Structure 1
Amino acid sequence: MAAASGFATSLSSTNCSIHSETKLRLDFRSNSLRICGSSNCSVACFPSRTRIFCNSSRYKAVIPVTKSFRLNPRCEVAPNAEIPPKSSSLTALELLKTSAADRYTKESSSIVVIGLNYRTAPIEIREKLSIPEAQWPQAIGELCALNHIEEAAVLSTCNRLEIYVVALSQQRGIKEVTEWMSKISSVPVSELCQHRFLLSNKDATQHLFEVSSGLDSLVLGEGQILSQVKQVVKTGQGVPGFDRKISGLFKHAIRVGKRVRTETSISTGSVSVSSAAVELAMMKLPESSHASARMLVVGAGKMGKLVIKHLAAKGCTRIVVVNRTEDKVASIRQELKDVEIEYRPLEDMLECAAEADVVFTCTASETLLFSKDQVQTLPLVGSHVGGQRLFVDISVPRNVGACVSDIEAVQVYNVDDLKEVVATNKEDRLQKAMEAQAIITEEVKQFEAWKDSLEAVPTIKKLRAYAERIRASELEKCLSKMGTISQRTKRKLSMILA
């Protein structure tokens, strides 16, 4: 069965214990084999082996049971699984129930997060795994195409890459996602395993709620992460694989993030990555040059806009902004009318850098904007700013090459260097974080109760369908005994039995 190679059955035996007259049907929807009278599939016993004859429109083949094949895209069974010895007290159905296939399908699905963040992995690793927002739907599709992944979502920011999945088998799912991460990043699995973190079910839920609340951020209480979690939901709408459990998890996380910020003061006076970047630059510049230093911001997206606002708050009166188009820069200029904001196209970037004392880079570019060779050609800066040009790169992947820091007259900082700034901010809000944890614990219980209720839905549907069949049958019996009656009477009887 070439179209479905790769899976195996547990029905391998030289002496078949299933009678040759027994008929089997391969049920591709319920991940199991069922004894039935289907004319499409049957088992025939031979002295040396058993063959399954499958004439399904999807899988047409005659397969030796001893050969690996795929019962279902969601079912994987060990090829060497043994069948209990033949016993007169065991029926064929009981034998199937004790097979590895049945044991596998009893494993319940799990919500799992496989991720890396600023605590577990350096930026050199994180930037290789960064997934642009435009590629999130494609990533969800690729993840859900894996054998044991049912649903998926991607949260990729400058400080983290987290893959949330509903895995039909937790260990197999983790293995498949890790291999997928290795494939897209060219980072060996062994290296990923050194830096990744794994959480499942309740722990995974609590982690996402902490993330959306800003408790897991480099900058404790920062608000931008909540916007990024919202973007996961917005991007995932209508994408196959971003389904009930995962979408429900992220929507609940948004609610938790809002509630924490409303009911606690964790975000009061908090800094963001952008403001921390500005603060870091000010720490490195002589205090006398804060107002006069020439500032260049490359990128006018969300991060760039925040950098410009924080520079203005620090007293900068002239800022040059390099961007692909002028629209966003014009919008920022309207908000900050007291600041001279000059727009320059991307082609003028090196020319602008030559005139700047401090360069902030915050773009979504996947290629370097400043290489060592390019920066070496720039003129030296004046002594009033310490004689060193500062590059503050808050992009992931990085916009400034790592080797640029080898140049004597240049200092390069990235997002991992912001820890120096936020350390002073963190102590003040640890008490507020404890208040937020109480809310998160309460919300985790609510979400887990909702998730558990989903497990009962199929059973409830079956019970309702069963009750409806009984109702219809009894109504039919009643009507047949009553003989000829009016439609009005039939309707009333139907309403009584409803």
Structure 2
Amino acid sequence: MAVASASTFAASSVAYRQMQSNSSTVSLPSSSSPFCSGSQFFYEISKKGGERKSLVFHRALSLRCEVVSQNLNPIDKAESKKSNIIALEQLKASGIDRYTKERSSIAVIGLNVHTAPVEIREKLAIPEAQWPQAINELSSLNHIEEAAVLSTCNRMEIYVVALSQHRGVKEVTEWMSKISGIPVSELCQHQFILYNRDATRHLFEVASGLNSVVLGEVQILAQVKQVKKLGQGVSGFGRKISGLFEHAIIAGKRVRTETNIASGSVSVSSAAVELGQMKLPESSYNAARVLVIGAGKMGKLVIKHLAAKGCTKMVVVNRTEERIDAIREELKDTEIIYKPLSEMMACACEADVIFTCTASEAPLFLKVHVQRLPPVDPKVGRRFFIDISVPRNVEPSVSDLETAEVYNVDDLKEVVAANKEDRLRKAMEAQAVISEELHKFEAWKDSLETVPTIKKLRSYLERIRASELDKCLSKMGDISEKQKKAVYDLSMGMLKKFLHGPMQHLRLDANECRKPEEILEIMHAVNTMFDLETEIILDTIRSKVERTQK
């Protein structure tokens, strides 16, 4: 059995005859039909004055359609082929209506520390290991061509190439609602949406540390790099999205090397340590017993910043001791005591300040657990939980206890407020670099627009050349191979001459003085003259469906 191509969407002549009626919905054959297996297709037809107005094609996310042509008799095969051709023409008309009016757009749909509280962000958090799966799910949505996910403690942002802006955003928002359990109406209250140049500038600012709680934060650039690394080889992480993140990484590096934004900058981890220092009574800071839960990227940074602030002894709870041994090698003057995860509560009993920074999707400390912990030293007053994990590791209701205080990533704003004005001045320097890189990316993206036109024009003229060559050779009768080659070379030479001018004008050279807008205008003219638009659209639809079927 072969996987169906775009031309097999309308599976039978029965469905086509149904389409001639005035009914608003026409169902294709059921899963028991030899044409479709496990599929959920339907066409909606609206008529006005006897004339078909529009055809909207709907497809379920798990699209699987198989054609069993070997089981059909010749008459059925011919009728099926005719039906497929009709369906392809309808799809072409539908595609033109839907996609030429709105060119594919880059969009970002997200929530971050500036727009949504941690209790909303944590429900949307996606672990790194699940980013490729999320990309596949997003790119299988009807109007999403490419996708990427950037999920950190401060943000959950989805970058997409959408075949239709509004339809694409609607589908992504519904997907976010589905995975988080947050109603769409509530998501929209905290969500921000940016398109094209604004979306690109936003990612460049994110990579440069301009959009973080801690202005100039260094860790976010590594997280943007990780998005690109994990996206490699994932079909939905396409050329445009990959290029977007590549240019964002370049922008982030330039901002940090060419401006002072990163001088004396702090990360979320260092801000968490500073917050702990601020909240502890000054008299008890050096004597406070410190516990760190987790020794991953964030945990390691917390340990380093604690050591830099003068903490000479701490207990670290982690699944394995290997990471602790590596940290000990770097911090030889600090006593780091390893404890397994099974002893976490016992360690908490003896701790005054607890930093939690694990990837656990469920809280590690519940209110009922903390209630049972013995009181801390009277000089300290209360037990401090500084939770920089998203999802949170400490149940929010723990803060209701008189014996405990809980702080999360949203509370770090207090730490960075003091030096905000100085950092904003530095951010102005960074904007000049970002604008330069933004211009380069836009030029690169515009150059991609002409690639399908170049390919289709070459293919179109090649078909004409091959057809006319065959006609010529058939009329010439019995001629030698040398003569055939001469005629072939003549046809190829003419083709190259014909293509030279259009190709030269369609290619966007970095050294060219022409503006991208001029190139795009030429591209649209070529598409119109040779009727290439529909073929390009169909290729987009075919490649998307084929990717979904894999």
- Which residue is equivalent to 1:311? 306
1:281 Cα offset (Å) = 0.5
Does 1:374 find its partner at 2:352? no
Q: 1:51-130 counterparts in 2 under 5 A?
A: 70=42, 79-80=45-46, 82=48, 102-106=96-100, 107-130=102-125
Q: 1:299-448 counterparts in 2 under 5 A?
A: 299-385=294-380, 387-448=381-442
Correspondence for 2:480 among 481, 484, 496? 484
Does 1:142 find its partner at 2:137? yes
- Which protein has the bigger helix share? 2
- Which residue is equivalent to 1:452? 446
1:430 Cα offset (Å) = 1.1
1:283 Cα offset (Å) = 0.7
- For structure 1, the residue ranges without an aligned partner over 5 or more in a row are 1-25, 63-67, 72-77, 87-91
1:317 touches 1:339 (CA, 8 Å); kept in 2? yes
In 2, the alpha carbon distance for the partners of 1:304 and 1:236 equals 25
Which residue identity lines up with residue 386 of structure 2 in the other structure?
Answer: V
Superposition CA RMSD, Å: 3.6
Change (3 A) 1:412 1:494: same
Does 1:28 find its partner at 2:25? no
Which residue identity lines up with residue 157 of structure 2 in the other structure?
Answer: E
1:290 Cα offset (Å) = 2.6
Which stretch of the first structure deviates more once superposed, 419-428 or 284-293?
Answer: 284-293
In 2, the alpha carbon distance for the partners of 1:357 and 1:46 equals 73
In 2, the alpha carbon distance for the partners of 1:273 and 1:45 equals 61
How far does the alpha carbon of each residue in 1:225-258 deviate from its partner, in whole angstroms, 9 at most, with x for none?
A: 1111111111111112111111111111111111
Does 1:462 find its partner at 2:456? yes
- Which residue is equivalent to 2:246? 251
* Other structure's SS at 2:339 match: strand
Change (3 A) 1:154 1:492: closer
Using structure 1 for the length normalisation, give the TM-score: 0.81
* Other structure's SS at 1:154 match: strand
Which residue identity lines up with residue 233 of structure 1 in the other structure?
Answer: K
- Which residue is equivalent to 1:22? none
Using structure 2 for the length normalisation, give the TM-score: 0.74
Correspondence for 1:166 among 151, 161, 175? 161
- Which residue is equivalent to 2:126? 131
How far does the alpha carbon of each residue in 1:373-397 deviate from its partner, in whole angstroms, 9 at most, with x for none?
A: 1111111111332x11111000001
In 1, the alpha carbon distance for the partners of 2:14 and 2:447 equals 36
Change (3 A) 1:215 1:470: same
In 2, the alpha carbon distance for the partners of 1:48 and 1:236 equals 46
Change (3 A) 1:438 1:81: farther
Which stretch of the first structure deviates more once superposed, 446-455 or 124-133?
Answer: 446-455
1:380 touches 1:409 (CA, 8 Å); kept in 2? yes
Does 1:156 find its partner at 2:145? no
1:99 Cα offset (Å) = 7.1
- Which residue is equivalent to 1:233? 228
Which residue identity lines up with residue 253 of structure 1 in the other structure?
Answer: A
- For structure 2, the residue ranges without an aligned partner over 5 or more in a row are 53-85, 497-550
Which residue identity lines up with residue 190 of structure 1 in the other structure?
Answer: S
In 1, the alpha carbon distance for the partners of 2:15 and 2:194 equals 43
1:212 Cα offset (Å) = 0.7
- Which residue is equivalent to 1:210? 205
1:44 touches 1:52 (CA, 8 Å); kept in 2? no
- Which residue is equivalent to 2:176? 181
1:411 Cα offset (Å) = 1.1
1:145 Cα offset (Å) = 2.3
Change (3 A) 1:493 1:478: farther
* Other structure's SS at 1:383 match: coil
1:486 Cα offset (Å) = 3.7
Which stretch of the first structure deviates more once superposed, 451-460 or 160-169?
Answer: 451-460
1:297 touches 1:320 (CA, 8 Å); kept in 2? yes
How far does the alpha carbon of each residue in 1:458-485 deviate from its partner, in whole angstroms, 9 at most, with x for none?
A: 1111222234345556766489499435
Change (3 A) 1:29 1:245: farther
In 2, the alpha carbon distance for the partners of 1:281 and 1:222 equals 19
Which stretch of the first structure deviates more once superposed, 449-458 or 252-261?
Answer: 449-458
In 2, the alpha carbon distance for the partners of 1:39 and 1:343 equals 67
Change (3 A) 1:469 1:172: closer
In 2, the alpha carbon distance for the partners of 1:435 and 1:69 equals 53
Which residue identity lines up with residue 237 of structure 2 in the other structure?
Answer: F
1:318 touches 1:340 (CA, 8 Å); kept in 2? yes
How far does the alpha carbon of each residue in 1:67-120 deviate from its partner, in whole angstroms, 9 at most, with x for none?
A: x9546xxxxxx644646769xxxxx9xx98997664223232211111111111
1:339 Cα offset (Å) = 0.5
In 1, the alpha carbon distance for the partners of 2:182 and 2:26 equals 42
Change (3 A) 1:128 1:42: closer
1:171 Cα offset (Å) = 1.2
Change (3 A) 1:109 1:81: farther
Which residue identity lines up with residue 408 of structure 2 in the other structure?
Answer: N
Which residue identity lines up with residue 103 of structure 1 in the other structure?
Answer: D
In 1, the alpha carbon distance for the partners of 2:311 and 2:13 equals 78
Does 1:221 find its partner at 2:216? yes
In 2, the alpha carbon distance for the partners of 1:159 and 1:487 equals 71
Give the structure, 1 or 2, with the largest relative contact order (CA under 8 Å, sep 6 or more): 2
Which stretch of the first structure deviates more once superposed, 314-323 or 99-108?
Answer: 99-108
Change (3 A) 1:322 1:328: same
2:27 touches 2:42 (CA, 8 Å); kept in 1? no
Sequence identity, in percent?
64
* Other structure's SS at 1:325 match: coil
* Other structure's SS at 2:438 match: helix
1:54 touches 1:61 (CA, 8 Å); kept in 2? no
Which residue identity lines up with residue 282 of structure 1 in the other structure?
Answer: Q
Which stretch of the first structure deviates more once superposed, 480-489 or 364-373?
Answer: 480-489
For this pair of structures, how many residues does the alignment match? 449
